[in-house]
Amino acid sequence: MLLLVLAVVIGIQVVGVVFTSLFAVGVLLVSLFTQQIDFDLEHVLYGEIAYVPWDTWQVFGMEAPKAFWIVGSIFLLNILVVTLFF
């Protein structure tokens, strides 16, 4: 029983280490590759989404934000893969 509890604690710790490491890598990459443009890191760090509805695509006669179409298509691809292989 003790081994099972330790395994869960170790698993949770791994998630914390991986998340913070990848977040740090992301911040580092954004700060390195956006030096030549006027880019505010607050928008990246705090998730500024105020202008998302302005960037729209029209697909099959329906106009929606670009993020909706991208995330929706990835969601449908995930459903297809899970249905086919599981």
Distance CA 64, CA 53 (A): 8
What pLDDT is recorded for position 83?
Answer: 95
What pLDDT is recorded for position 40?
Answer: 67
Task: State if pTM tops 0.75.
Answer: no
What pLDDT is recorded for position 51?
Answer: 66
Q: Which is more confidently placed, 33 or 21?
A: 21
For the segment 23-77, what is each residue's pLDDT rounded down to a tens digit? 889 888 877 877 777 766 666 667 666 666 677 888 889 898 888 899 999 999 9
- Chain centroid, CA 24 distance in Å: 14
Distance CA 56, CA 74 (A): 17
